[in-house]
Amino acid sequence: MQNPPKTDFFSQRLISLPDDWLIPAAFILGLLPSGVFVSILLLIVLVIRRKSLEALGGLVLVVLANPAIFKTNGIEVFRYLPLLCGLIFMRPGLKIISVFVAWSLALLATLLLFNGLVVSSLPSISLFKATLFLGVLWVLFNTQRVDFEAFASRLDRFIPLFLLFNIPAYFFHTIGFARNGTGFQGLMNQPQAFGVTAALFATWLLYRMWTRSVFISVPITVLTIIGLLGCILLSGARTSLLGFSVSFIIMWLIQMLRSSKSLGLKILMTIIIGGISLFAFTTNTALTGFLFKNSSAENILDAADTSRGSLVRRSLENFEDHPLLGVGFGTPSLVDAADITYAPIVGLPISVALEKGVWFSATLEEQGVVGTTALLIFFVSLIIYSIHNKTYLGMVLLSFLLASNLGEMTMFSMGGLGLLQWLLVMTGLRIRS
C-alpha cells in the first residue's frame, strides 16, 4: 500500500483552516512582530479559496489596525498584494452589467489616465492610484466570479462581532483613545476611521433590517445598530454621523416612494422623527459638544470651517491656478512636504499620505472641472442603475460615501477605508433589496 505524500504541519493546518477563521487569524497575527506579513499571506489564501470579497474587507481591517497593540509597520507596499490577487481572481468576463455605467467609467478612466500622464507632478503615484481605483470599480461592478448574496449574509453576521471585539478597548485608554486622547478609535488606527466604519456598518444593517433581508435576528440587529451609533458619538467623527443621517433620509424616501400605502402617516412620522432629532441635538450638551467638537463656534458651519476650512481653502487655491485639468489625481496640495512611499527595488513613488477635506473641493483641485464632471456622471450612472434594477441598497450606501467624504476624502483610497466603502457600495448594487 502506497503512503500518502507528506506535508509539513504548517501547510496542512493552513489548508484545513476554515475560511471563517482566516480573517480573525490574520487580525490576531498582527499582534506579533512581523506577524502582519503572515496576515497578508492568509488573506491571499482566502482569495485563492474564492472568498475575494471577504479578503478585501479583511485587508482594510488589518491595514487600519490600532498601532497601539498591532504591529503593522512595513506593509505600506505589501498591503496591495491581496487586493491585486483579488482583482485577478475576480476578473470579469466579456459580459457588461450596464452599458451606461461602463461608458461613464470608461470616460472617467480616460481622463484620469490622461491626468496622470500629462498633468500630474507625480505621474507614477497618479497612474498607480488611478489604476487601482478604476480596477476595483470595474471588477467589483462586473464580476460574475463571486457570490455577493453570500458575502452580504456573512457581513450581517460579522458586524455584531466587530462591535463586540471593539468595545473592550474603551476601558483601556491607552488603546481605545491612543490617537488623540479624546476620540474613541476601538481597534482601528484613528477615531475618524472607526467612526466612519461604525456608521457604514450601521447603515448596512439598518437597511437590511428594514427590508427584512438581514441574516441575524431583529433584536441582535437593533442592539448592534444602537451600539454602533454609540461608537459614532464616542469617536467624535462628525462626518460619520452626517453620512448615516443622509443615508437614513435616502433610505426613508425610498421606502415612502416604493409604496403609497399610509403615505400621510409616513410623512407625519418623518416630521416627528426629524423634530425629535433636532430638539435632541440643540438641547443635549453632549450631542451639541459632539457637533461643535467643544469649540467656541457659534454654528455648525463655523465649526466645520474651524476643523476643515484650511484644507478646503488650500484645495480651492490650487483649483483656481489649474481650473480645467487640476494638479494631478492623488497628488497632495503641497508636494514638497508630502510623505511619499516608494516601491522596493525600482524606487518609484507609488503612494502618498493625503489629508484633504470636502471631496468635491479636493476633486476639483486634483482633476479640475473636466475630471470632476466625469466623476459626477459616473455617480449618476450608478444611481440610475440602482433605481432601474431596484438595488436600492447601493444608492443608500453611495449617499453615505458621498456624505461621509465631506469631512475627509477617502473615496479614492484603495489601500484603506475607501476600499471598504466601495466594496459595500458595489455589493449593494449587485444584490436585490
Mean pLDDT of 345-353: 63
Mean residue pLDDT across the chain: 84
Summarised one tens digit per residue, pLDDT across range 266-299 is 666 667 666 655 555 555 555 555 555 555 555 5
Residue 433: which of 158, 140, 214 has the closest Cα? 214
Cα–Cα dist 179/339, whole Å: 19
Q: How confident is the model at residue 2 (pLDDT cuts 50, 70, 90)?
A: very low
Determine the pLDDT at residue 187: 93
Per-residue pLDDT of 90-144, as tens digits, reads: 999 888 899 999 999 999 999 999 999 999 888 888 998 999 999 999 999 999 9
What pLDDT score does 13 carry? 42
Q: pLDDT digit string (tens) for 18-58? A: 677 778 888 888 888 788 888 999 999 999 989 999 999 99
Could you give the C-alpha distances from 152 to 57, 353, 375, 382, 423, in angstroms and in order? 12, 31, 27, 19, 11
Could you give the CA distance from residue 265 to residue 272 in angstroms, rounded to a whole number? 10
At position 284, the amino acid (one-letter code) is N
Q: Which residues contact 113 (CB under 8 A, 6 or more apart)?
A: 127, 130
Structure-model confidence comparison of residues 90 and 330, the more confident one? 90
How many other C-beta atoms are found inside a 10 Å radius of the C-beta of residue 337?
7
In this predicted structure, what is the pLDDT of residue 259?
A: 67
Query: CA–CA separation, 289 vs 310, rounded Å?
Result: 21
Average pLDDT over residues 219-227: 94
Q: Name the band, by pLDDT with cuts 50, 70 and 90, for residue 341.
A: low
Quickly state the pLDDT bin for 1 (edges 50, 70, 90). very low
